[in-house]
Amino acid sequence: MTTRRMPAEWEPHERTWMAFPPANITFGADGGQALHRARLAWAAVANAIVKYEPVTLLVGPGQSEAARSYVSAAVSLVERPLDDSWARDIGPTFTIEADGSLGAVDWIFNGWGTQDWALWGLDREIASDICAQSGLTPRHSTLTNEGGGIHVDGQGTVLLTETVQLDPGRNPGWTRARVEAEIHAQLGTSRAIWLPRGLTRDYERYGTRGHVDIVACFTAPGVLAVHEQRNPAHPDFEVTRAIIDQLSRETDVHGNPLRLVAIPAPDVAVHDGLPTDFSYINHYVGNGFVVVPVFDDPADAEALDLLASLYPGRAIEAVDGVAIFENGGGVHCITQQQPTARERTQPVEP
């Protein structure tokens, strides 16, 4: 029986959704150089993507002129109230329904587990708003979850993290079985692979408590790119060794062992006085391209070569990753793909 399905990220897109950084506690409430640096970094990603597929950028009320000074005229701007700009987490997760039409799930969003610094009164409305702009009525899930907390192969396998979906700040009292039942119902998956945790820095202030999208991602059916920290002095050395060991023993929805490709962490071990979580895994794949964060680091070249081999035929677009990661995430975190549905004759223009 054909059911709904969350397509893999490398499948065709109708567009990419992003959000323009507002002045806030993480980017700087004063609208100074920190906010400018973040906006330059977000704009670099939008300008890279729009060369290949449509991009819609949500901007705060009255911020269109400011946003346009950063992004290409090809990027569509839509004004909406925003708390933050992590489109992967505040946007909907799109699916293809059994009849080939586009669908979407609106997870509950509560500021990454009601963290004391987070505001989400505006952002929790963004998923439904994006759906409305796309001509969709979302499915409202009972699970508190974010797009950065899942990764799929498009064939029925999903990656999850115990410290995200089972976080008491997100889903108190939920069991693995209950989480899996809801995830599978919403995404059309049937095989969940649970990682025990994420990278060390992700548990510091402004972290997500273990999002999978800086740790591991499918690059093709049965192929998994995995973050590898090679510095024995870095706390993620043991973390990533354990994760790689676990994943080497996992199977996909078809019962086949996964082929792992280790992507090295950047050499830099400390940033802003804390262990780095800089990760090339947190890249974004679209229509003929891959946007990859780079860190002016000796490991950049090896990582870019490995990713180019994993995505043959796609252009590799390198962007400054430091300016994004120092605010709490990466390229994947600030983008959300809207897949192409079979029955849509033309894109909906916001």
Q: Catalytic: 217?
A: no
Residue 342 pLDDT > 90: no
pLDDT at residue 2, as a whole number: 57
pLDDT at residue 240, as a whole number: 98
pLDDT at residue 51, as a whole number: 98
Q: What is the CATH number of the domain that holds 303?
A: 3.75.10.10
Neighbours of 62 (CB within 10 A): 8
113-129 pLDDT, tens digit per residue, is 999 999 999 999 999 99
The answer to which of 21-30, 31-40, 306-315 has the lowest mean pLDDT is 21-30
Residue 2 lies in a domain: no
The domain total for the chain is 1
Residue 79 lies in a domain: yes
Q: What's the whole-number mean pLDDT along residues 25-31?
A: 81
Residue 283 lies in a domain: yes
Residue 122 lies in a domain: yes
Per DSSP, which regions of 134-269 are E strands? 139-144, 151-152, 157-161, 191-195, 216-220, 223-228, 259-264
Residue 205 lies in a domain: yes
137-157 pLDDT, tens digit per residue, is 999 999 999 999 999 999 999
Q: What's the whole-number mean pLDDT along residues 68-77?
A: 98
Q: What's the whole-number mean pLDDT along residues 65-87?
A: 97
Residue 15 three-state SS: strand
Tell me the residue type at 345: T
Tokens of 309: 């081999």
237-261 pLDDT, tens digit per residue, is 999 999 999 999 999 999 999 999 9
Residue 308 pLDDT > 70: yes
Residue 347 pLDDT > 50: no
Q: What's the whole-number mean pLDDT along residues 316-335?
A: 96
Share of the chain above pLDDT 90, in %: 93
Which residues contact residue 57 at a Cβ distance below 8 angstroms, ignoring those fewer than 6 apart? 18, 19, 20, 46, 67, 71, 75, 76, 77, 78
Measure the CA–CA gap between 32 and 319, rounded to whole angstroms.
Answer: 22
Catalytic residue among 43, 136, 187, 333: 333
Residue 7 lies in a domain: no
Residue 334 lies in a domain: yes
- Main-chain phi, psi angles of 66, to 5 degrees: -65, -45
Residues of the domain holding 226: 13-339
Give the pLDDT band (50/70/90) at residue 160.
Answer: very high
Residue 345 lies in a domain: no
Residue 25 pLDDT > 90: no
